[in-house]
């Protein structure tokens, strides 16, 4: 079953605008990660936020985590055409002595030059 | 260069013809996993391996087998492929799901499988 659900499913913005993607999940987590996937390619890890963290930055990326609402958001500032890709959240939860990573369904971002 | 390598990248086969998708990583990672990606369903885990000779089922293991005889290799075996196994398959590896609370996964480039 899907642990994470992204919203919106698709997003189209102009270059230079900010893009915000949201992820909601169902159970308590150890951490939450965001991955990027260019069309048909492998996923690339972007950023990880632990359950005791509320906000994290990496370059033009800003991730927030609200464990009380079981939600996270990924903000890409000053978007570029090269940011066009699908973005997935992935929750890490403890399961039988190891950490299980479960992916959401993704947000497809299109940045128009 | 650190990487996860999958082969073949593209394959068209027929129902019932056994096939193997290979996966190899050069990062000395303990943890390896197979996912399938289908439109609207995201990535779903098929099987995973915590270390050599240690494998376990993921969320959608039916119709698949795996083995982990060496640390670097984790092949996915479809003994009798069916059309509902047409999908994009990804192999991923991680240093350790237990020791380090990161779980960052490194992905291969994917194998697109079509079963007719």
Q: What is the mean pLDDT of residues B14-35?
A: 95
State the pLDDT at residue B96: 66
CA distance A93 to chain B (A): 10
Indicate whether B50 pLDDT > 90.
no
The pLDDT, as a whole number, for residue B104 is 84
Interface touch B4/A44, C-beta < 8 Å? no
pLDDT digits (tens, 9 = 90+) for A1-49: 456 788 899 999 999 999 999 999 999 998 899 999 998 899 999 999 9
Please list every residue in chain B whose beta carbon sits closer than 8 Å to the beta carbon of residue A35: 105
Q: Is B27 on the interface with A (CB under 8 A)?
A: no
Q: In sequence order, what E strands does chain B have?
A: 4-7, 10-13, 19-25, 31-38, 42-51, 54-57, 65-66, 76-78, 87-94, 106-107, 111-115
pLDDT at B29 over 70: yes
Q: Which of A32, A101, A107 to mutate to test the interface with B (most CBs of B within 10 A)?
A: A101
pLDDT for A1 equals: 47
């Amino acid at each position: 079953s899907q642990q994470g659900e992204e919203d919106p499913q698709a997003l189209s913005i102009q270059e230079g605008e900010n893009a915000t993607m949201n992820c909601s999940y169902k159970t308590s987590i150890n951490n939450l990660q965001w991955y990027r996937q260019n069309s048909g390619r492998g996923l690339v890890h972007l950023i990880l936020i632990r359950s005791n963290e509320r906000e994290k930055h990496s370059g033009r990326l800003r991730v927030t985590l609200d464990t009380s609402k079981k939600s996270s958001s990924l903000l890409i500032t000053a978007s570029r055409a090269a940011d066009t890709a699908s973005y997935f959240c992935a929750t890490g939860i403890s399961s039988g002595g190891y950490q299980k990573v479960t992916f959401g369904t993704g947000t497809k971002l299109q940045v128009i030059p | 260069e650190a990487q996860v390598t999958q082969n073949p990248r593209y394959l068209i086969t027929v129902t019932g013809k056994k096939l193997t998708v290979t996966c190899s990583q050069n990062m000395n990672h303990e943890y390896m996993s197979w996912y399938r990606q289908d439109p609207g369903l995201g990535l779903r885990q098929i099987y995973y391996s915590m270390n050599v000779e240690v494998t376990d089922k993921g969320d959608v293991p039916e119709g698949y087998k795996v083995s982990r005889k060496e640390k670097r290799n984790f092949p996915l075996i479809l003994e009798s492929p069916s059309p509902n196994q047409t999908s994009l398959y990804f192999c991923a590896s991680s240093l350790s799901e237990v020791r380090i609370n990161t779980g960052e996964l490194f992905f291969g480039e994917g194998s697109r499988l079509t079963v007719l």
